[in-house]
């Protein structure tokens, strides 16, 4: 993390290496001061970032947390699915708290729109797959956030039924598309047994054109905007939403989200080529959590898991659901770090592990046939059958939240970090010891409090 004076930071990506909720918001916030433009490339309002500034707590879903700095630009890239109603609520809530949201927020005209029928469809499919198929085939629901993410991306792939942010600015075009889409969608929702009244394309067109009008000052061709920024020597910080093990291609399919949340989503989700990114900081908790359904080899479905949940406040920012908790799975983290090209790690919620006599790290899986592998299995059905192989390390009892540097951490805590570095093969550059900015070790030393909006 040490740079020569006046040296520009490289374009950086921040990405979660587990199943989400790794505390990316705080790390993004920390690195924001070193960059000029903060860019979202994937996902939608299914993500939730919490940033604590003094006594203020900000929960952001669509807008990058860089918005809290008046001199930074925030870009919502083309790979994001935007729920305009939620986005406007977020803008209004920020403004009500005195945060400037003007030309510092730019939204891609090519980002796809999450419509109300996507949310209806998301919930209806979850119910259908949970209840209706449960007896015959087991529960096939994913445990989605029901924010309409999957159906919106499905429409993007289907093309003819998609709406993009740019379409909201052209009311006649929007209306004509909605007339066709609503007929189809009403039939699909009826088939799932949830809709009685047909969708009203004219009412939706009026409402969404009005949202478009409010968003118009922010809507840009984000691909050119980002390339212009790079040409002007400005540095970009890419903020991954959700996390690598939820990546549609590389995660624990089918228990994943619908976008490329790993750094591989950056080129397609922003139009910036991958080789432009010089640094990838992978964020991992000192333990593991997961929300929703899907395999979780190191899950602690017991008192210890409950203790981690309470100490780590492991309840969803977006849905409030209790998160499933377990030991650190380094097979999974090493795999995500490989796929993302991580150059360093930020280990978050490290303070939560204090107070245990011993701690465990999973470094391999035992397969049903008895063989042992250190390779991850990005397939839910096959991953269900593995047993974690653990290393047991001594725990520590000291409160480490105010530790001034890495060297003054208890020996067992230092050994835990060293083991992560040895197994994953990259340095732990940042250690988060609590929710405050200052409760962070960056390059081994305590981070300074930063001037803020
Ligand atoms: P969806 O993204 O709402 O379709 O949900 C798909 C799966 O991804 C569910 O298990 C969600 O709980 C999970 N998920 C999506 N976004 C996040 C996130 O930001 N953190 C944690 N889990 C997430």
Distance of alpha carbon 436 from alpha carbon 433, whole angstroms: 8
Most confident range (mean pLDDT) of 24-38, 164-178, 315-329 is: 164-178
3-state DSSP call for residue 185?
helix
* CATH number for the domain harbouring residue 345: 3.90.170.10
Distance of alpha carbon 266 from alpha carbon 229, whole angstroms: 16
What's the pLDDT score for residue 196? Answer: 74
Output b/e per residue, 8-29; b: 16+ Cβ within 10 A.
ebbbbbbbbbbbbbbbbbbbbb
Neighbours of 164 (CB within 10 A): 16
Judge whether 245 lies within some domain.
yes
**Sequence-distant (≥ 6) Cβ neighbours of residue 390 within 8 angstroms:** 327, 360, 361, 362, 363
Whether 240 and 333 map to the same domain: the answer is yes
**What does the pLDDT look like over 268-321, one tens digit per residue?**
999 999 999 999 999 999 999 999 889 999 999 999 999 999 999 999 877 788
Neighbours of 337 (CB within 10 A): 23
Most confident range (mean pLDDT) of 6-10, 45-49, 306-310 is: 306-310
Mean pLDDT of the chain: 93
| Residue in 21, 122, 155, 247 annotated catalytic | 21
As for ligand 1, residues whose beta carbon falls within 6 Å of it are 19-21, 46-47, 142-145, 147, 149-150, 241-242, 246, 255, 257-258, 291-292
Residue 196 belongs to domain spanning: 112-217
- For atom 9 of ligand 1, the residue with the nearest CA is 144
Distance of alpha carbon 376 from alpha carbon 51, whole angstroms: 31
Please state whether beta strands 428-432 and 440-442 pair in parallel, antiparallel, or not at all (unpaired): antiparallel
Instruction: Please say which residue of 169, 188, 217 terminates a domain.
Output: 217
DSSP state of 342: -
Distance of alpha carbon 152 from alpha carbon 157, whole angstroms: 9
The reply to whether 21 belongs to the active site is yes
- Structure tokens that stand for 72 in this block: 């930074």
Mean pLDDT of 116-132: 90
Distance of alpha carbon 197 from alpha carbon 200, whole angstroms: 9
Distance of alpha carbon 311 from alpha carbon 194, whole angstroms: 40
The reply to whether 118 belongs to the active site is no
**What does the pLDDT look like over 335-349, one tens digit per residue?**
999 999 999 999 999
Whether 265 and 386 map to the same domain: the answer is yes
**Could you tell me the distance, in angstroms and rounded to a whole number, from the CA of residue 242 to the centre of ligand 1?**
6
Task: Say if residue 69's pLDDT is above 70.
Answer: yes
Q: In which band, very low, low, confident or very high, does the pLDDT at 453 lie, cut at 50, 70 and 90? A: very low
Whether 40 and 152 map to the same domain: the answer is no
- Measuring CA to CA, which residue among 322, 304, 281 is closest to residue 432? 281
Q: In which band, very low, low, confident or very high, does the pLDDT at 133 lie, cut at 50, 70 and 90? A: low
Q: In which band, very low, low, confident or very high, does the pLDDT at 3 lie, cut at 50, 70 and 90? A: low
Helix axes 201-215, 84-96, angle to 10 degrees: 40
Whether 365 and 384 map to the same domain: the answer is yes
**What does the pLDDT look like over 355-374, one tens digit per residue?**
999 999 999 999 999 999 99
What's the pLDDT score for residue 317? Answer: 72
Whether 285 and 391 map to the same domain: the answer is yes
* CATH number for the domain harbouring residue 174: 1.10.300.10
Whether 266 and 359 map to the same domain: the answer is yes
Residue with tokens 């150059």: 343
């Amino acid at each position: 993390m040490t740079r020569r004076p006046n040296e520009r930071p490289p374009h950086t990506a921040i990405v979660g290496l587990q199943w989400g909720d790794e505390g990316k918001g705080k790390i993004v916030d920390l690195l924001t001061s070193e960059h000029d433009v903060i860019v979202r490339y994937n996902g939608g309002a299914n993500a939730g970032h919490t940033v604590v500034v003094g006594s203020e707590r900000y929960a952001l879903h669509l807008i990058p947390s860089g918005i809290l700095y008046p001199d930074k630009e925030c870009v919502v890239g083309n790979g994001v699915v935007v729920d305009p109603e939620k986005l406007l609520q977020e803008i209004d809530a920020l403004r009500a708290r005195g945060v400037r949201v003007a030309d510092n927020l730019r939204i891609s005209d090519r980002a796809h729109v999450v419509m109300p029928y996507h949310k209806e469809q998301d919930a209806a499919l979850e119910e259908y797959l949970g209840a209706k198929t449960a007896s015959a085939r087991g529960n096939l629901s994913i445990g989605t956030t029901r924010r309409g993410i999957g159906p919106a991306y499905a429409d993007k792939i289907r093309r003819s039924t998609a709406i993009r942010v740019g379409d909201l600015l052209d009311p006649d075009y929007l209306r004509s598309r909605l007339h066709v889409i609503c007929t189809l969608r009403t039939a699909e929702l009826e088939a799932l047994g949830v809709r009685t009244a047909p969708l009203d394309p004219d009412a939706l067109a009026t409402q969404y054109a009005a949202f478009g009008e409010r968003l118009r000052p922010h809507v840009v061709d984000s691909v050119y905007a980002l390339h212009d920024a790079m040409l002007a020597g400005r540095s970009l910080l890419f903020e991954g939403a959700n996390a690598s093990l939820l990546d549609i291609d590389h995660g624990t399919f089918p228990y994943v989200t619908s976008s490329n949340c790993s750094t591989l989503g950056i080129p397609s989700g922003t139009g910036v080529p991958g080789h432009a990114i010089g640094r990838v900081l992978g964020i991992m908790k000192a333990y593991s959590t997961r929300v929703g359904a899907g395999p979780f080899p190191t899950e602690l479905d017991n008192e210890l898991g409950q203790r981690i949940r309470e100490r780590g406040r492991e309840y969803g920012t977006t849905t409030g659901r209790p998160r499933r908790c377990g030991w650190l799975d380094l097979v999974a983290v090493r795999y995500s770090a490989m796929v993302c090209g991580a150059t360093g790690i930020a280990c978050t919620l490290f303070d939560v592990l204090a107070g245990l006599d011993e701690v465990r790290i999973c470094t391999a899986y035992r397969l049903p046939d008895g063989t042992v592998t250190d390779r991850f299995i990005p397939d839910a059905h096959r991953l269900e059958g593995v047993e974690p192989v653990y290393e047991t390390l001594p725990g520590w009892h000291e409160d480490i939240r105010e530790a001034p540097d890495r060297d003054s951490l208890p020996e067992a805590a230092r050994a835990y970090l060293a083991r992560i570095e040895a197994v994953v093969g990259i340095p732990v550059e940042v250690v988060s010891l609590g929710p405050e900015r200052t409760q962070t070790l960056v390059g081994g030393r305590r981070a300074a409090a930063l001037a803020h909006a």
